[in-house]
Amino acid sequence: MKSIQLLFLSFFLFVFASQAQPPVQNASIPKDAPVDVTITDFKDNPLPNEIMIFRSKKNEREYQGQTNDAGKFSTRLPAGDVYNIFILGFKDSTSIDSLVIPALQGNQYYKNPFVVTYQFLPAKSFVLENCNFDLGKATLQESSFTVLDELVSYLKRKDDEKIELGGHTDNVGSAASNLKLSLDRANTVKAYLVSKGIDETRINAKGYGSTKPVADNKTAAGRAENRRTEVTILE
């Protein structure tokens, strides 16, 4: 399965490129470009603590910044490259666009910044991909630690958010046993997050058993999809 990504319902991205300035006589001319970033929701409210990543197409090197309380940050990127732009969830999200910074010639330099303005609405719920348990138990498998550590990092960055952890099962077994197993698994994930420093008052664990399937329980693939732990961002 793919690693967890914080999905977005929709977005707009605006990139404005400044032009290279006329040549100047300076022995220490910067060969990179200033970039100013603003991230807001669709009502133009600033979104703090969002991380935007610029990944070089030339060498895969990454540059990133985190928005302040005004939803802004500034960075510098080497000229003569194309950068794929990502918003960091738990893993890099799908690239939302790219920024082209033309190469500089001679004594040219970029005086005015490239301006990147991004508007989006974060999803309110998502599945913890690869959060796996032993069969019929609430014991986490070691393969789950990667995605859970990513969730820990996210919650530390978004320290004003509260979440619900929803445990879900397939329909194999009795409704009562599935309900208990789903709650036990949600509480196991909660305990892991708390052990990593997340305040337990920010986490509500709830078991739904097999009552909210997202796929057909008649197939093995469908049952596997129904066995899941969902994160819901609470208001």
pLDDT tens readout for residues 77-133: 999 999 999 988 765 566 788 999 999 888 888 989 999 999 988 778 889 999 999
What is the layout of strands, in order, in the sheet containing 32-40? 8-16, 114-122, 32-40, 72-78
DSSP 68-89: -TTSEEEEEEESSEEEEEEEBS
What is the layout of strands, in order, in the sheet containing 81-87? 62-66, 51-56, 81-87, 97-101
Dig out the tokens for 156 from the structure: 């530390």
* CA distance linking residue 164 with residue 158, whole number of Å: 14
- Residue in 126, 218, 139, 138 with CA at minimum distance from that of residue 178: 138
State pTM to two decimals: 0.76
Dig out the tokens for 170 from the structure: 């397939």
Domain boundaries, the chain: 8-122, 125-234
pLDDT (average), residues 145-154: 93
pLDDT tens readout for residues 35-73: 999 999 999 999 999 999 999 999 999 999 999 999 999
Q: What is the pLDDT of residue 10?
A: 41
Q: What is the pLDDT of residue 38?
A: 96
Please tell me if the domain spanning 8-122 has the same topology as the one spanning 125-234. Answer: no
pLDDT (average), residues 11-31: 52
3-state secondary structure of 207: strand
Question: In sequence order, what are the beta bridge partners of 181?
Answer: none
Confidence of residue 201 (pLDDT cuts 50, 70, 90): very high
- Residue carrying structure tokens 């003569």: 80
Q: Helix 175-195 crosses helix 145-157 at what angle (to 10 degrees)?
A: 60
Confidence of residue 21 (pLDDT cuts 50, 70, 90): very low
When the pLDDT of each residue in the chain is averaged and rounded to a whole number, the result is 87
Domain 8-122 architecture: Sandwich (2.60)
Q: What is the pLDDT of residue 105?
A: 86
φ, ψ (nearest 5 deg) of residue 114: -75, 140
* CA distance linking residue 87 with residue 39, whole number of Å: 10
**8 pLDDT higher than 60:** no
Q: What ranges make up the beta strands (E) of the chain?
A: 8-16, 32-40, 51-56, 62-66, 72-78, 81-87, 97-101, 114-122, 125-127, 162-168, 203-207, 228-234
Confidence of residue 15 (pLDDT cuts 50, 70, 90): low
Q: Which class in CATH covers the domain with range 125-234? A: alpha beta
Instruction: Decide which of 221 and 29 is more confident.
Output: 221
